[in-house]
Amino acid sequence: MANLKDLKNRIASVKSTRKITKAMQMVSAAKLRRAQEAAEAARPYAERMNAVMAGLSASVGGSDSAPRLLAGTGSDKTHLLVVMTAERGLCGGFNSTIVRLARQAANQLLSEGKTVKILTVGKKGREQLKRDFGQHFISHVDLSEVKKLGYGNAQAIAKEVISRFDAGEFDVATIYFNRFQSVISQIPTEQQVIPAAYDAEGGASTVYDYEPDEQEILADLLPRGIATQIFTALLENGASEQGARMSAMDNATRNAGEMIEKLTIIYNRSRQAAITTELIEIIAGAEAL
């Protein structure tokens, strides 16, 4: 009975798939915990940084001599979209949601007659955007070799973005990433980093002395603020990726389980049918004698 054998093989293969997805789920659960801890640990720095930057930009922002990173170039012709996705797939809609948001924004900007440039972080987003926006790509940051995300990675991205800004390649930079909400919910987010937009509230309650003066501190801190925002985004993305993968793999494991059950029932039915047929044949044979 070839059919029975096929079913048996099929069940065995789905069972091993289930083992793999189960293992992946457990691995990402462990990684998620670490990623969440990292995001948690980075939060105090980012919060204080934002508070200080808000105070500084409130006091310097209005003046004509404000740095271009804060005040902008005075135009918004050219937009840089920094699309941050994962290096790996099999994580549900994680990459697609970011790409969808970025694609919408890009189409919107293009329809307004603006120039769009795209910098991708993580190869999955690059692959998905290549077909429609391949000609807008200006650079790519590969993090596939990075085992543990560090501030250094964020600094490198920030450095590249800032040097391109200084070279006058774009006017506005926006980052796209997934903000981690919970294992089942990640929110695709866009955040403008250049010109820097800080909420005025939360800062500026006390009047500080600055050493060296405000301008110099601001010039020193703005690149750092951008690196911090990128770092926060990378960490949020990391946690989101693992969360998304965990729930995707949980679903896959459950689906595999259901499939095994169904296949087992079919297998048992056809086995019994085969036995019945054989019995009928024997009885019919015996009666014929």
Which amino acids are annotated catalytic? 91
User: Rounded distance, CA 285 to CA 289, Å?
Assistant: 7
Between 105 and 204, CB nearer to other proteins: 204
CB of 43 or CB of 262, closer to other proteins? 43
**What minimum distance in Å lies between the beta carbon of 30 and other proteins?**
19
- Min dist CB 151 to other proteins, Å, is 4
Nearest CA-CA partner of 225 in 190, 187, 202, 197 = 197
ω into 212 cis (within 30 of 0) = yes
Interatomic CA distance for residues 19 and 76, integer angstroms? 52
Q: Compute the least distance from the CB of residue 166 to other proteins, in Å.
A: 9
Chain length of the chain: 289
Alpha carbons within 13 angstroms on the beta-carbon side of residue 226 total 27
- By beta-carbon proximity to other proteins, the closer residue of 14 and 221 is 221
Q: Is beta strand 185-194 parallel, antiparallel or unpaired with respect to 172-182?
A: antiparallel
The least distance separating other proteins from the CB of residue 199, rounded to whole angstroms, comes to 17
d(CA 196, CA 54): 10
Q: Which is nearer to other proteins, 159 or 269 (CB)?
A: 159
Cβ proximity to other proteins, 204 vs 266, nearer residue = 204
Write down the least CB distance from residue 91 to other proteins, Å: 24
CB-CB contact of 108 with 121 (8 Å): no
Positions touching other proteins (CB under 8 A) are 38, 41-42, 44-46, 48-49, 52, 56, 150-151, 154, 206-212, 216-217, 220-221, 224, 227-228, 231
| Contacts of 35 by beta carbon, 8 Å cutoff, 6+ apart | 235, 238, 239, 241, 242
